[in-house]
Amino acid sequence: MADVLPYKPRAGEIPTNPGVYRFRDADGRVLYVGKAKNLRQRLSNYFAPLRTLHERTRRMVTTASSVEWTVVSTDVDSLQLEYMWIKEFDPPFNVRYKDDKSYPFMAVTLGDEAPRVIVTRNRKIPGARYFGPYPKVWAVHETIDLMVKAFPIRTCSDSSYKRAMQTGRPCFPGQIGKCGGPCSMTVSIEEHRAMVDDFVAFMAGGDERFTRELTKRMLAASAAMDYEAAARFRDKLTAIEAVLGKSALVLATDEDADLFGIAEDELAAAVQHFVIRGGRVRGVRAMTIEKEIDISTADLVDQVLQRAYGDAQDVPRRIIVPTLPDDAAELEVWLRERRGKKVEIAVAQRGQRADLMRTATLNAQQALIRYKTRRTSDYIARTQALTDLQEALGMSEAPLRIECFDISHLGGTNVVASMVVFEDGLPRKDQYRSFNIAETTDDTDSMYQVLRRRLAYLDRPEEADEPAAVAPAVAATTEGGDELAEVVVEVKRRPRFAYPPQLLLVDGGQPQVEAAARALRDAGHTEIAVCGIAKRLEEVWLPGDDFPVILPRTSESLYLLQRLRDEAHRFAITHQRKRRRNDITSILAEVPGLGASRIKVLLKHFGSVTALRSAAPEEIQEVQGIGPVLAENIHTHLSTR
């Protein structure tokens, strides 16, 4: 492969102005759209020597056959043009969005003569005001049922409303008290419009004003001994408080904001969008993103905000993100044009906002795990993944049993290894194993040791068998009542470690793969395939190859290998932490006068074993229940171990 792209522009040909660029393939299809404050500086990154590019970026530029750019006058213009072109061309190498589902919204049809409130998934109703999204349909209906008690606006269908207005007979929901529109014959169109305005204002965050006004009216009616009116105001106040009780107050009561929590890996990202109005979370939207080329978190935030507000009707005063995009100032200008007022993009650093960001990020992490798990748990996807692996790795059969190994250590100490097993694309957690490694020189030596120990069981299957389980002796009787002899049943559990895998997967690149291949040769099991997955570029290495195997970014096979690698890493870290915890607990237990409860208090106070080991006797003495003599004994004992 040539190291220079044939369509690379000549030196000085690319302008230094802000603008938007497009990569096209030989058929003229737009592959990627991007913006830049300095086109020459940005595009030079794509035309660097191919060997220095990220693998997915290299695939994009080698697939393309031309690049073109459009100069604009301001950075805001480039942002608007980029958004328009991404929407128009849907380039395959730009990030791809997938909403987790079509979320239901509460909509108020303000464009109607007598607006009504409905549950809908249609975001294109002319003149409608939307609230949400809501995670479940029943949550929208429940909110509407409570809200119409405080603000009795129309809920009936358009046909029912039209028929009622023509005949002078209330619509059916109006007859049973479920519709408060003009069709119920209790209010005029003007009065109903005023209630609709109050409904919208309340849902938009005007909680405190309505609570104060209703409380004031209720007390005034009670003082005037108009108890029926006071009861009506009381019922409305109860309904409002019930609605507010459905969503906890997470920020200040006057805070209107959107908060985005993001979790990502090299290939995908999950976004949790919290809609906060009046300090309360009014809706949550989740989406997953497939990343085709290497993209930073700041650029990802930029793309997410463009997606969220490109066609939005409701832009809040403040947008809270995990990382500020590079063009945050231009985005604020772009958003201000849509809102008509100032918009601030901020990072949550402390207090309630930081707490809420942690919650949103945790939800995003769980969503990302669910997304990747769904892809590997689907039967068709699993079958495709195993077939693709067979072809990509040149195997004679699909790897129905895959074992993945990972090495974990803490600064070269407490070296452990993990083995996780997937059969038919699904984890077999009952067959996971962990290894302790006493002496090692590096990760490759550790990998060699572990695989030799594991492969040894293939030649000695009797050692791999689980111990026989002996069922208790039982006395049985016949149907006629005659007693039979006691029977002792020995149940031999099936061997697990003796099962040979079709594929060994190691966490690492070429050095780790070569160590694994050497272990297979020395053990005499060259019939087992081996490969490694390197985390930096998600590339797959085979022994003896100078170049990695690049699996398609969206392939099921790559997702399967990723999940195996991540599961092995998780299992190794869990084992290492447990081992460290057990080690320090057993060491402290040797100190006279130091029991389990005091050990727990010590570790909780210092937060880590390292901090406890480096603490002076005077610092240890500060812990409740630790006297000067005991503190000196603890310090002496730890310093000698």
CATH of the domain at 304: 3.30.420
Judge contact between 35 and 78, C-beta under 8 A: yes
Q: Residue 492: pLDDT above 60?
A: no
Radius of gyration of the chain (CA): 33
**Within-domain flag for 94:** no
Please give the residue that has the higher pLDDT: either 257 or 638. Answer: 257
Q: How far from chain centre, in Å, is Cα 418?
A: 25
- Same-domain pairing of 540 and 406: yes
Beta strand spans in 43-145 (E): 66-71, 96-99, 105-109, 117-120, 128-131
**Within-domain flag for 375:** no
Sequence-distant (6+) residues with CB within 8 A of 16 are 38, 39, 40, 41
Structure tokens at 120: 């809908």
CA–CA distances in Å: residue 42 to residues 6, 21, 45, 230, 376 = 18, 10, 6, 67, 37
Q: Look at residue 21 in the predicted model and tell me its pLDDT.
A: 92
Running DSSP on this structure, what letter comes out for residue 532?
A: E
Q: What is the mean pLDDT of residues 402-429?
A: 81
359-405 per-position pLDDT tens digit: 888 888 878 877 776 666 667 777 878 888 888 888 888 888 899 99
- Same-domain pairing of 179 and 283: no
Q: Residue 589: pLDDT above 80?
A: no
How many domains, the chain?
Answer: 5
Pairing of strands 529-534, 426-427: unpaired
Q: Which of 252-256, 527-531, 622-626 shows the lowest mean pLDDT across its residues?
A: 252-256
Q: Look at residue 101 in the predicted model and tell me its pLDDT.
A: 53
CATH number at residue 72: 3.40.1440.10
Helix (H) or strand (E) holding 587: helix 556-589
Maximum mean pLDDT: which of 67-76, 196-205, 433-442, 514-523: 514-523
- Same-domain pairing of 78 and 115: no
466-481 per-position pLDDT tens digit: 444 343 433 333 344 4
Please give the residue that has the higher pLDDT: either 489 or 582. Answer: 582
- Same-domain pairing of 403 and 356: no
Q: Where does the pLDDT of residue 462 fall: very low under 50, low under 70, confident under 90, or very high at 90 and above?
A: low
- Same-domain pairing of 557 and 514: yes
**Within-domain flag for 13:** no
Residue where one domain finishes, among candidates 210, 245, 280: 245
Q: Look at residue 580 in the predicted model and tell me its pLDDT.
A: 61
**Within-domain flag for 250:** no
CATH number at residue 420: 3.30.420.340
Running DSSP on this structure, what letter comes out for residue 5?
A: -
Please give the residue that has the higher pLDDT: either 266 or 500. Answer: 500
Q: Residue 486: pLDDT above 50?
A: no
- Same-domain pairing of 557 and 418: yes
445-460 per-position pLDDT tens digit: 888 888 888 888 887 6
CA–CA distances in Å: residue 418 to residues 24, 385, 539 = 45, 23, 21
Neighbours of 383 (CB within 10 A): 14
Q: Residue 272: pLDDT above 70?
A: yes
Q: Which of 10-24, 342-356, 582-596 shows the lowest mean pLDDT across its residues?
A: 582-596
- Same-domain pairing of 445 and 583: yes
Judge contact between 410 and 435, C-beta under 8 A: no
Closest C-alpha among 197, 363, 199 to residue 274: 363
Does a cis peptide bond (omega within 30 degrees of 0) precede residue 133? yes
Closest C-alpha among 533, 562, 564 to residue 548: 533
- Same-domain pairing of 182 and 269: no
Q: Residue 599: pLDDT above 80?
A: no
Helix (H) or strand (E) holding 254: none
Q: Where does the pLDDT of residue 120 fall: very low under 50, low under 70, confident under 90, or very high at 90 and above?
A: confident
Q: Look at residue 477 in the predicted model and tell me its pLDDT.
A: 37
Q: What is the mean pLDDT of residues 132-143?
A: 67
Q: Residue 100: pLDDT above 60?
A: no
Q: Look at residue 126 in the predicted model and tell me its pLDDT.
A: 84
Beta strand spans in 255-300 (E): 257-264, 268-277, 280-290
Question: What's the longest Cα–Cα distance across the chain?
Answer: 103
Q: Residue 588: pLDDT above 50?
A: yes
Could you list the residue range(s) of the whole structural domain that residue 634 is in?
591-640
Q: What is the mean pLDDT of residues 205-231?
A: 72
- Same-domain pairing of 155 and 183: yes
CA distance 216 to 272: 39
Q: Look at residue 480 in the predicted model and tell me its pLDDT.
A: 42
Q: Look at residue 641 in the predicted model and tell me its pLDDT.
A: 59
| DSSP assignment string, 123-186 | S--TTEEEE---SSHHHHHHHHHHHHHHS--B-S-HHHHHHHHHHS---HHHHTT---SGGGTS
Q: Look at residue 364 in the predicted model and tell me its pLDDT.
A: 85
Running DSSP on this structure, what letter comes out for residue 472?
A: P
Pairing of strands 268-277, 117-120: unpaired
Q: Look at residue 608 in the predicted model and tell me its pLDDT.
A: 60
Q: Average pLDDT over the chain, rounded to whole?
A: 77
Q: Residue 343: pLDDT above 80?
A: yes
Pairing of strands 413-423, 529-534: unpaired
> Within 400-442, where are the H helices?
none
Q: Look at residue 260 in the predicted model and tell me its pLDDT.
A: 92
Sequence-distant (6+) residues with CB within 8 A of 626 are 598, 602, 620, 634
Q: How far from chain centre, in Å, is Cα 473?
A: 52
Q: What is the mean pLDDT of residues 294-301?
A: 84
Structure tokens at 306: 């463009």
Q: Look at residue 374 in the predicted model and tell me its pLDDT.
A: 67
CA distance 566 to 373: 11
CA–CA distances in Å: residue 261 to residues 329, 335, 360 = 20, 19, 5
CA 568-269-424 angle, 5° bins:
40
Buried b or exposed e, range 89-119, using 16+ CB within 10 angstroms = bebebbbeeeebeebbbbbbbbebebbbbbb
**Within-domain flag for 191:** yes
What percent of the chain clears pLDDT 90, i.e. is strictly above it? 2
CA distance 634 to 611: 13
Q: Where does the pLDDT of residue 493 fall: very low under 50, low under 70, confident under 90, or very high at 90 and above?
A: very low
- Same-domain pairing of 402 and 546: yes
Q: Residue 517: pLDDT above 80?
A: yes
**Within-domain flag for 71:** yes
CA distance 81 to 91: 14
Please give the residue that has the higher pLDDT: either 1 or 138. Answer: 138
Q: Residue 47: pLDDT above 60?
A: yes
- Same-domain pairing of 281 and 406: no
Residue where one domain finishes, among candidates 569, 590, 611: 590
**Within-domain flag for 153:** yes
- Same-domain pairing of 188 and 141: yes
Q: Residue 318: pLDDT above 80?
A: yes
Q: Look at residue 23 in the predicted model and tell me its pLDDT.
A: 92
Maximum mean pLDDT: which of 250-259, 534-543, 574-583: 534-543
Q: How far from chain centre, in Å, is Cα 88?
A: 28
**Within-domain flag for 381:** no
Partnered with residue 96 across adjacent β-strands are 290
Q: Is 376 helix (H, G, I), strand (E, B) or coil?
A: helix
